[in-house]
Chains A and B, each alone.
Chain A
Amino acid sequence: MINSQEDNNFGLSAERFTELSQQLANGDGEELFEHIFLVHFQSCLEFVIQKDQAPEHLAYDATMDAFLTFRMKVTQGKITYGNLRYLLTRMARQHYYKRARKESSIGLDTIQDPGVAPDIDFEPSAWDLLASGWSKLGDTCKKLLYAFYYRNQALKAIALATDRKPEALRKQKQRCLQVLKNVIN
C-alpha cells in the first residue's frame, strides 16, 4: 500500500527529505535532486495545462520556473516537508500566472509562500558585463556569493560553516562585489 504522506512528498520520507535538503545546501545533492524531482516534471506540466488551459510552451516554462524556485528554496531551508507535491504544483500555477500576466484567482497560500518574487530587470549590456565579471571571480568569491545570495545564508552562518570571522567575510564579500562592479565601470 502506498504511504499517502510519502506519495504527497514524491515518495520521500521526512528524514530522507531533510537529508536531501542538507546535501543540496552543502552543494552535494544536485544529481540526487534531479533524479528524484525531474521525473515529476511532466505530470506537473500537465496539471498546469489542465487546470489553467495553459498553452503547452508556457506550461513548460512555468513548470521549469517552479522547479528552479523550489530547488532554491530547498537549499535555503525554506521548504517544509508536508505536501511537497501540492506546493510544487501551486508554484507552477503561480509562475504560469506571472508569465501569462494574469491575476491569480486563488488566494495566497497560508501555509507556505511559493515566493514568486518580482524580477529585477537587467538590460542586456549589464547582464553580459556581470556574467563576464562572474567568470573572472575565483572559486572562493563564487562560493561566498552563492551561499549569501542564492542560499540566502547570513554571513554569520557562512562564517560558522567555514571557520572564519564574520567581519573578515564581510570584507571579502565587498572585495568580490567590487570585482563585479569594476567590470560594469
Chain B
Amino acid sequence: MTTSEKLRDPNLSEEEEDAIIGAFVRRYENERLRERWQVKLKKEHGVVRKEIITTTKPAKIRRLVLGLITVAASLLLLFIFWPSLQQQNGQELLAVYVADISLDATRSTNPDPADSLRRVQFSAFEAADYALAQSSGEILLQLPEATLEDRFHLALIQLKGGQIDAAKTSLQALIDEDTLYRAEAQFHLGLALLLEGDKTTSLDKLRQIQASDGRELYEKAQTLLRQKWE
C-alpha cells in the first residue's frame, strides 16, 4: 500500500498516522535545514559537496558517448522497424535523446581568440559541468568571433543542464532568425517542451520538421511523434 493510500484509508490507526505524518514533518524540517546548511557550509566554512563526476580524460568520455550513441541508434532502429515497439512510453525515448545531446568538437582551421573559450566549454560539457559550460558559452557570445554554432551549442548546454527556459529562448531565436540551425533548434525545442510536460506544443513543433530538413532529424522527430505520451 502506498503512503497516499494509507492516508486515504479511513481505518488507518492513530499510531500509523503518527508514524507517517511524523516521518513527513521530520524529513520536511531536515530538508529545509540541509539546504540552509549546505549554503552556510559553502559560504562560511568553504565546505562543498564534491560531485561524483570523475575526471576521466576527454578521449575516454568521447568513446563512452560514442558507445552510448551506438546503443541509442540501435534502439532507434529497433523502434523504427518493429511497429509493435513504437507504442512504448515516450519518456524513455526522450531521456535517450537528451542524453545523446553532444557538442560538435570540430574546430576552425584558423583558430581565433574565442577558441580557447570553446575548448573550456567543450571540456566542461564533457565533464558534465554544465554551469561552467554555460558561463563559458555566455562569455563567448559577447565576443565578435562568436558564431551561430556557438549560439546553438549554448542552447544545447542550457537544455542538457536543465535550464529549460533559457534553452527555449535560445532555440526560438535560432528558429525565428531562420538560421542554419533552424531545424535542429526546432527539434531540440521539441525536446525542451516535452521535458516541461508541454506535450501538445512540443509535438506541434516536431511535426514542422520536414524530410528536407535532414533524414536523421526527420526520423528522430517522427519517432517521437509515434510514441505513447501520457
Contact = CB atoms under 8 A, between A and B. Distances in A.
A145 interface: yes
Given A125-B4, A146-B29, A55 B52 contact: yes
Interface of A: 34, 38-39, 41-42, 45, 55-57, 60-61, 64, 67-68, 71-72, 119-123, 125-127, 129-131, 134, 145-146, 148-150, 177, 180-181, 184-185
B25 A119 contact: no
Contacts of A180: 7, 21, 24
10 contacts: A38-B37, A57-B50, A64-B37, A123-B2, A123-B3, A145-B25, A149-B21, A149-B26, A177-B21, A184-B7
A123 B4 contact: yes
Contacts of A126: 2-4, 7
A55 B51 CA distance: 10
Given A57-B49, A123-B4, A34 B37 contact: yes
Nearest to B22: A149
Interface in B1-48: 2-4, 7-8, 17-30, 33-34, 37-38, 40-41, 44-45, 47
Contacts of A45: 47
Interface string B183-215: 000000000000000000000000000000000
Given A68-B33, A120-B20, A123-B2, 10 more contacts: A38-B37, A38-B41, A38-B45, A41-B37, A57-B51, A64-B37, A127-B24, A149-B18, A149-B21, A180-B7
SS class of chain A's interface: helix, strand, loop or mixed? helix
Interface of B: 2-4, 7-8, 17-30, 33-34, 37-38, 40-41, 44-45, 47, 49-52
B12 to A, nearest CB: 9
A159 to B, nearest CB: 17
> Which applies to chain B's interface (DSSP): helix, strand, loop or mixed?
helix
B2 A41 contact: no
A134 B28 contact: yes
Contacts of B24: 122, 127, 130, 134, 180
B29 A184 contact: no
Nearest to B7: A184
Given A120-B20, A150-B26, A41 B41 contact: yes
Contacts of A56: 50
B40 A119 contact: no
Nearest to B17: A177
Given A38-B37, A149-B21, A180-B21, A120 B3 contact: yes
B40 A34 contact: yes
A14 B8 CA distance: 47
B30 to A, nearest CB: 5
A38 B36 CA distance: 11
A184 B21 contact: no
A121 B30 contact: no
A87 to B, nearest CB: 18
Given A71-B33, A122-B3, A42 B45 contact: yes
